[in-house]
A = this chain, B = another copy of it.
């Protein structure tokens, strides 16, 4: 295991991987700009007619069910299978799983039919998918009774993924090891779509480090968290924080990132 967000970021910026995102309407511009600011290339494409071809061009596929509907779910499944066939790693963001039956079942169906490398969600969403009792309320504020570290481990084992459970402290597990990431800032919770951005950036890191999904997922969260810390410095509220976040992602310095990342084994 080598955890070095700085090294991965440097590599990612050199290779500029294409990250195919089938994501929700609310955050498309935001995740595209976060991807671009970090140093990768976003592409959004959702038509059944082209998703497989687009996915095969990509370094990673990010599936986000934030505003799902049947045509989109079909495309997500087709893209996921094409990604699997082409060995393109897949990130799933199960936005709102637990809030409605349709979301929960769609997330489960994708996990069932597609080999997902990293599942990135909040505690409520992940708990729903792994069968743990959780309080779910909308998509912005979800709590969970259990312990986040154990939840990540249980989800990874139960679902056969790297589980990346974000919160005040993030927990990433491959079912065996758990990495805790203690970067970030409270203002990240005040902007819609920051969870989705963290999934997009997970795709970017995974594209650059596909054989170490646990490390890639933790590094992505550390990098995003550090950018959040930088963005908060001069923020006057969620609007200016949001703007600063792109500046901060673009300004992330690979040479200092490892020193600032608060990643620890649990």
User: Given A28-B25, A43-B138, A247-B238, do A54 and B99 touch, yes or no (CB 8 Å)?
Assistant: yes
Contact among B43, B47, B140, B250 with A102 in the assembled complex (CB-CB below 8 Å):
B47
Stretch in A6-14, A168-176, A190-198 with 4+ CB within 8 Å of B: A190-198
* Residues of B close to A245: CB separation below 8 A: 239
How distant is the Cα of A243 from the Cα of B246 in the complex, in angstroms? Answer: 11
User: Is chain A's interface secondary structure helix, strand, loop, or mixed overall?
Assistant: mixed
* Residues of B close to A54: CB separation below 8 A: 99-100
Pair A96/B43 contact, Cβ less than 8 Å: yes
Nearest CB in chain B: distance from A21 CB, A: 9
A64-122 contacts to B, CB under 8 A, are 66-71, 96, 99-103
Pair A37/B102 contact, Cβ less than 8 Å: no
Pair A102/B53 contact, Cβ less than 8 Å: yes
How distant is the Cα of A192 from the Cα of B24 in the complex, in angstroms? Answer: 16
Is the CB of A139 closer than 8 A to any CB of chain B? Answer: yes
| Count class of interface residues, chain A | 35 or more
Interface centre among A44, A45, A53, A236 (most CB of B within 10 A): A45
Is the CB of A57 closer than 8 A to any CB of chain B? Answer: yes
How distant is the Cα of A47 from the Cα of B66 in the complex, in angstroms? Answer: 11
Is the CB of A32 closer than 8 A to any CB of chain B? Answer: yes
Pair A99/B43 contact, Cβ less than 8 Å: yes
Pair B36/A190 contact, Cβ less than 8 Å: yes
How distant is the Cα of A248 from the Cα of B238 in the complex, in angstroms? Answer: 9
Nearest CB in chain B: distance from A76 CB, A: 13
Interface centre among A36, A42, A46, A50 (most CB of B within 10 A): A50
Is the CB of A264 closer than 8 A to any CB of chain B? Answer: no
User: Given A41-B140, A54-B99, do A238 and B49 touch, yes or no (CB 8 Å)?
Assistant: no
Is the CB of A240 closer than 8 A to any CB of chain B? Answer: yes
Is the CB of A135 closer than 8 A to any CB of chain B? Answer: no
Nearest CB in chain B: distance from A133 CB, A: 17
Is the CB of A18 closer than 8 A to any CB of chain B? Answer: yes
How distant is the Cα of A2 from the Cα of B32 in the complex, in angstroms? Answer: 38
Contact among B25, B43, B192, B246 with A42 in the assembled complex (CB-CB below 8 Å):
B192
Pair B43/A32 contact, Cβ less than 8 Å: no
8 smallest A-B Cβ distances: which pairs?
A: A239-B246, A237-B247, A50-B102, A32-B192, A50-B100, A47-B69, A239-B243, A237-B250
> Can you list 7 A-B contacts (CB < 8 A)?
A26-B28, A27-B29, A47-B67, A47-B69, A50-B68, A57-B99, A237-B251
